[in-house]
Structure 1
Amino acid sequence: MDRIVLLGVKGGPAVRKNSQMPTASLLQLVGHNIVIDCGIGVSRSCVEAGVSLLQIDVIFITHLHSDHVLELGPLLYTAWTTGLNRQITVYGPPGIAEYWDGFLQSMAFDQQIRIADEGRQPIRDLVAFHVFGEGPVASIDEIDVSALRVDHPPVTDCFALRFQTADKNVVFSSDTCYFPPLADFAKAADVLVHEAMLVAGVDALVRRTPGADRLRAHLMASHTPAADVGRIAADAAVRRLVLNHMVPIDDPDFGDADWLAEVAKTYSGPVQVGKDGMEIILNP
């Protein structure tokens, strides 16, 4: 069954009681298990979605903000200590190899002990890293993957991803401000998973948080108001829009109706407000 599972839909790295988890998604397409971004909690969420870490084939990291990459190393390492005996391929932006080298250095003692004591194959032999930029990224059997550099200041290497087969087309926006070229990139997608910001919620956050003016300036420059997300979906004529990486997500004064009302200003198609564990079936 081809599907998307939202493993974490919260924007930002904080982990709070009774809130959603940071960004990660699972795409199951033509028999492949593909993870997009590895925010904290991704390993547990993947297993709860019914996919063992040993069943992951490919991982894509859209950019190097911590809420997208923090648990990449721990996920791969836990797969290794669980018995990984085949290769996992990781695609990431410039800097991803340095992240991996640093993580492995931090685990050097444990690696050496397990290789010597348990006879494990070195983890470097089981994980292949590829750096990508804008344009075609990979062909995974019947899946063609391409990337679009989006606008997420101050990060320059941040990419939306498009996964396309003969009969399915799924796009993940990554983190971005309102970026009209994304509509062409997502043209006629079956599902567009797009980050979203609720401006009224951000304003409420700033009002109750001393010294948060700089945070507001960052959010407004780097993320997409929900109404503009709807504008992208409408211009792209996507079949379904799914809101992801939502900011803010844990304010009890705002709920699904607020998100949907903003999107409805510009997009009249089907919309789902993302939740951790939400499953989106990809129909033929």
Structure 2
Amino acid sequence: MSHTLLNESNADQYRTRVTLLGTAGGPPWWDGSDRTGISTVISVNDDHYIVDLGEGWGPQFRKSNLGPVGFQKGLDNVRAVFVTHHHSDHIVDLPNLLLLAWHNGSDGLKSPIQIYGPGNRGELPPIFAPENREQLPEVFNPDSPTPGLTESAAKLMEAYALDINDRMRDNAKQDLRDVFEFHDIELPGTTGDRPNEDPTPEMEPFEVYRDENVRVTAILVDHRPIFPAFAFRFETADGSVVVSGDTGVCENIVKISADADMLLHECIDMDWVDTLMGPNSPKPDANLMQHMLAAHTSIEQVGPQAQAARVKSLVLTHLVPGNTPAEKWQQAAAGYDGDFYVGEDLMQFGIGAPRG
């Protein structure tokens, strides 16, 4: 299969498209950068599948013109949403989806939007470098300290109960419980039973979603101590697209990406990390530097990882920091011999051949 970097004039010619709504990773606001929070859309037959809901994905979705023609270019054609993991920069705008879907559609969604994400972690993450802490943190929300997607979404909607009841009673809005269906992604068998000791066990990709357009599989990736953390692969009639989520170098991302037409991969600038915690920084911390590298993929590592997976094209996204110059990210092409792109907000790719 082939792919094409699109512009507005030829985007509609492709049945399967990839749109980068936002390409910045990390919770901070990056000075000198207009990148928005991480979010990606895979579109098939004019239906849309969103991966992650970083800050600003909603306005970016409207700017992308992916919504149907008509009132507000809304969410009517969003079929499913997939959350890679529960870090704030990937889910901070989940409430916007839940509460604003009513106001961004024509006359009510015809079928519920399916939302898939990690389930309950099962146990608290370990304390990092406890010997360096004067006092260990108290557990936040001890009754349920590691909730999964379904529980988190339910609590979010409870928090906004006044608004939800008002919209349904005074504005005659559709019952919000009919707009979304939430699913915790269930790991196969005993996979993931030891999240602190073995967060990325050897495993095969497993199916989490299927419809007439697409088959979606998932695999655990190494974003310790966050668990579960997933990469997703989208298989369509036009080709395959993998979204890495946040991950360090690991065999599972190579496995799920094998021979894919496109791999959207996160990347971190370790020179920037060095300025924060390297030996010449104001607060040197070699252990924390290694911790950061284990949970992410550096500019030097991402090309060889894509090469090992034999992917046809590599697109960098979830860039940390968001204000590293594009020419620095270009260095990530070293060690990779396929088509390479540094992702930009609202960049689009067509997968496969144009529609006949």
**d(CA) in 2 for partners of 1:3, 1:109:** 38
Q: Select which of 313, 326, 340 maps to 1:271.
A: 340
Tell me if structure 2 keeps the 8 A contact 1:144–1:165: yes
Q: Residues 149 and 160 of structure 1 are in contact (CA less than 8 Å); yes or no, is this contact kept in structure 2?
A: yes
Matched positions, count: 280
- Asked if the contact 1:63–1:92 (Cα under 8 Å) also holds between the matched residues in 2, the reply is yes
Matched, 1:148 2:219: yes
Residue matched to 2:253: 182
Identity in percent: 33
Structure of higher CA gyration radius: 2
Secondary structure class of the residue paired with 2:267:
strand
- Look up the match of 2:229: 158
1:160 deviation in Å?
A: 0.4
Question: Is 1:30 paired with 2:103?
Answer: no
Aligned equivalents of 1:11, 1:232: Cα separation in 2: 19
- Contact (CA 8 Å) 1:42, 1:75: kept in 2 or not? no
Match of 1:260 in 2: 330
In the TM superposition, what is the alpha-carbon distance from 1:250 to its structure 2 partner?
1.1
- 1:217/1:121 CA distance change after superposition, 3 Å: same
Contact 1:202 1:247 survives alignment (8 Å): no
Equivalent residues of 2:238, 2:352 under 8 A apart: no
- Measure how far apart 1:220 and its partner are: 1.4
Deviation at 1:65, TM superposition (A): 0.6
Unaligned runs of 5+ in 2: 1-13, 67-73, 120-147, 188-205
Distance verdict in 2 for CA 1:212–1:136, change over 3 Å: farther
Q: What is the match of residue 47 of structure 1?
A: 62
Match of 1:63 among 82, 85, 90: 85
Report the TM-score, using the length of structure 1 for normalisation: 0.92
Unaligned runs of 5+ in 1: none
- 1:216 Cα deviation (Å)? 3.2
- 3-state SS of the aligned residue for 1:177? coil
- Post-superposition Cα deviations, 1:24-59, rounded to whole Å, max 9, x if no partner, equal 111112332111000110111111111233332211
Question: What is the CA distance between 1:279 and its match in structure 2?
Answer: 1.2
Asked whether the equivalents of residues 152 and 176 of structure 1 are also in contact (C-alpha less than 8 Å), the reply is: yes
| CA RMSD in angstroms, aligned pairs only | 1.9
Higher relative contact order (CA 8 A, sep 6+): 2
Deviations 1:99-139, CA, capped at 9 Å, x for gaps: 11121111111111111112222201210111114511011
- Equivalent residue letter for 2:113: I
Where do residues 79-90 of structure 1 align in structure 2 (5 Å cutoff)? 79-83=101-105, 84-86=108-110, 87-90=112-115
Provide the residue aligned with 2:292 in structure 1.
219
SS at match of 2:52: strand
Task: Give the structure 1 partner of residue 319 of structure 2.
Answer: 246
